Amino acid sequence: MNDLISVIIPCYGEYWKFLAEALESLKKQTYQNFEVIFDSTPNYIKARNEAIKKSKGKYLVCLDADDRLMSEYFEKAISLIDENSIIAPAYRYFDEEFVYIPFLEDGFKKANRIIIASMFPKSLWERVGGFDEEMDFYEDWLLWAIAEKLGYQFKIIPEVMVEIRSWNSTSKKLLPKHQYYYQKLLEKLAKYEN
């Protein structure tokens, strides 16, 4: 398979200082048929949507500017993906040895164990109208939950393919809003119930 992958990177504010690491991890990919599209809109969900609108790839990977990919990620993912699947890689946080292996739990109603850097068909993004910009958080959780309702298959790569940076400030901002956005997610997901 030699399909084009579009790598979507929202980058603004303090994230610029990490961008070189993310780009270096892209240079090392063993599968090189990809394009990189940046957007510096200060709302990362809107930035992703704007960048995806400009993309030409059949498949998408949303890479946060402060994260890194392992060199074999694209090669392994492109060999597994099709129009009806999402490739969910294992990941770890920087400076941690613990490996997080993605899994599905109760149709995504309790938790999201699939990271934003998973590979998915652009046609899924088009089908659902993009990342929901009303969701200041959990936009990826909502996309994966809708995909599962639409019959997409999640294929797991059990080896670490992504390293993500943990931001305590993000966790602190999210915690008080968790219940609000979780409820919003369930309401939006209910539209897809049979």
Mean pLDDT of 108-136: 92
Give the confidence band of 181 by pLDDT, cuts at 50, 70, 90: confident
Q: CA torsion angle for 47, 50, 52, 56 (degrees, to 10)?
A: -140
Instruction: Say what the pTM is.
Output: 0.91
Query: Environment class of residue 41 by beta-carbon count within 10 Å: exposed (0-12), middle (13-18) or buried (19+)?
Result: middle
Mean pLDDT of 88-100: 89
List the one residue out of 110, 108, 77, 70 whose CA is nearest residue 92. 70
- Say how far apart CA 96 and CA 119 lie, in whole Å: 23
Domain of residue 37 covers: 5-190
Which position has the higher pLDDT, 110 or 84? 84
pLDDT at 95: 79
pLDDT at 169: 45
Q: How many domains does the chain have?
A: 1
187: which residues sit within 8 A by CB, 6+ positions away? none
The answer to whether the beta carbons of residues 139 and 132 sit under 8 Å apart is: yes
Chain mean position to CA 155:
14
CATH code of the domain containing 131: 3.90.550.10
Mean pLDDT of 121-150: 94
- Say how far apart CA 138 and CA 156 lie, in whole Å: 20
With vertex at residue 74, the alpha carbon angle to CA 123 and CA 15, rounded to the nearest 5 degrees, is 85
